[in-house]
């Protein structure tokens, strides 16, 4: 003989759905403690896996919010009926404390979102792009070393209170120089190929579009686009030069500058619109925060979503 499930008031059910904005929390109102814990665990696990799963993992994480809300809207309460309000509140406090501690730890040590606020990395990253990172290259884990070509988030020595994002183009011991706008490492030019003009890129400074040229630069096996302003006087054309010497902390060798031990050399992909290692010198590895992985949202400064950029890998 079957028995019907205990009834749940409309308001309790509604609040259970609303509380599912924190997946699993709404289940506590129905007394489904273990089921709620599973939903919370699924969210935290999908967040921690973002550096490895990329944008599909981000979609899965969003699915945890929707799935938890749908599940609690259809789920019957436990057979003994719904718990008292006092037990629910106590459970929610414990639930949110654990979720907050684990979530913050994950953001600090594994995966954290950042937002682009300048045009120094165009066309790789645009103003308004929001991207997730792999924090295992930064402190405190440092599970892997920064690789040549990585797009990294860091704290620049001149402004350690702010986060910046640029490309690590050279590692400790590399001899860096730029000739006619082309990056040289170890005395030889890196592989690159012309791609044409910059029209239609939506540059932060459209005034440079007429003199801007795009090139595909390859570091190791990592091709990426860079922009050069080829007007006379474009300051990216030669480094070091008579007017731009090797920055502090770098010694001059073979007409180039040597990256010291424990440092990397970073450049913006928008070479004439970036204040980078050419200005303030090599970046200490201890200042590296994370490596950019994928764009999860992009909002144009003037309004509107760049839908085509959602899910793009940062290369």
What number is the average pLDDT over the span 203-207? 57
pLDDT one-digit tens code per residue, 253-267? 988 999 999 999 999
Backbone dihedral angles phi then psi of residue 78, each to the nearest 5 degrees? -65, 160
* Average of per-residue pLDDT values in the chain: 89
Q: Tell me: pLDDT of 109 over 80.
A: yes
Burial profile 257-294: b = 16 or more Cβ within 10 angstroms, e = fewer: bbbeeebbbbbbbbbbbbebbbebbbbebebbbbbbbb
pLDDT one-digit tens code per residue, 237-256? 889 988 888 998 899 998 89
Q: Tell me: pLDDT of 125 over 70.
A: yes
Overall number of domains in the chain: 2
274 lies in some domain: yes
CA distance 126 to 131: 11
Q: What does the pLDDT read at residue 211?
A: 80
213 lies in some domain: yes
- Domain end (from 109, 131, 159): 109
85 plus 229 within the same structural domain? no
Token readout for 81 is 């009926």
119 plus 186 within the same structural domain? yes
The pTM (predicted TM-score) of the whole model is 0.84
Give the strand pairing for 191-197 and 212-219: antiparallel
Q: What does the pLDDT read at residue 311?
A: 93
What number is the average pLDDT over the span 310-315? 92
146 lies in some domain: yes
For the domain that residue 127 is a member of, what is the CATH number? 2.10.109.10
- 117: nearest Cα among 154, 150, 159, 163: 163
Give the strand pairing for 283-284 and 288-298: unpaired
16 plus 104 within the same structural domain? yes
Range of the domain at 246: 113-309
Res. 137 pLDDT band, cuts 50 70 90 = confident
């Amino acid at each position: 003989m079957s028995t019907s499930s205990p009834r749940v008031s409309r308001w309790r059910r509604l609040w259970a759905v609303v509380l599912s904005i924190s997946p699993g929390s709404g289940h506590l109102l129905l007394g489904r403690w273990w089921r709620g814990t599973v939903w919370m665990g699924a969210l935290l696990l999908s967040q921690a896996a973002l550096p490895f799963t990329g944008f599909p993992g981000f979609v899965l994480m969003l699915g945890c919010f929707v799935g938890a809300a749908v599940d609690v809207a259809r789920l019957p309460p436990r057979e003994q009926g719904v718990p008292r309000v006092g037990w629910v509140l106590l459970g929610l406090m414990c639930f949110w404390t654990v979720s907050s501690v684990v979530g913050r730890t994950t953001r600090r040590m594994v995966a954290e979102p950042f937002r682009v606020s300048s045009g120094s990395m165009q066309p790789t990253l645009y103003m308004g792009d929001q991207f997730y990172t792999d924090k295992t290259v930064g402190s405190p884990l440092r599970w892997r070393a920064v690789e040549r070509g990585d797009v990294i988030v860091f704290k620049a020595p001149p402004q350690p209170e702010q986060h910046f994002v640029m490309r690590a183009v050279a590692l400790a011991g590399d001899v860096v120089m730029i000739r006619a706008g082309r990056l040289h490492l170890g005395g030889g030019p890196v592989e690159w190929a012309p791609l044409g003009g910059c029209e239609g890129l939506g540059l932060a400074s459209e005034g440079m579009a007429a003199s801007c040229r795009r090139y595909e630069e390859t570091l190791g096996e990592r091709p990426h686009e860079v922009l050069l302003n080829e007007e006379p006087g474009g300051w990216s054309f030669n480094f070091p030069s008579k007017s731009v010497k090797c920055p502090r902390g770098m010694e001059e060798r073979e007409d180039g500058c040597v990256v010291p031990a424990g440092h990397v050399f970073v450049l913006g992909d928008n070479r004439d619109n970036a204040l980078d290692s050419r200005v303030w010198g090599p970046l200490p590895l201890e200042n590296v925060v994370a490596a950019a992985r994928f764009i999860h949202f992009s909002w144009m400064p003037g309004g509107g979503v760049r839908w085509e950029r959602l899910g793009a890998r940062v290369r």
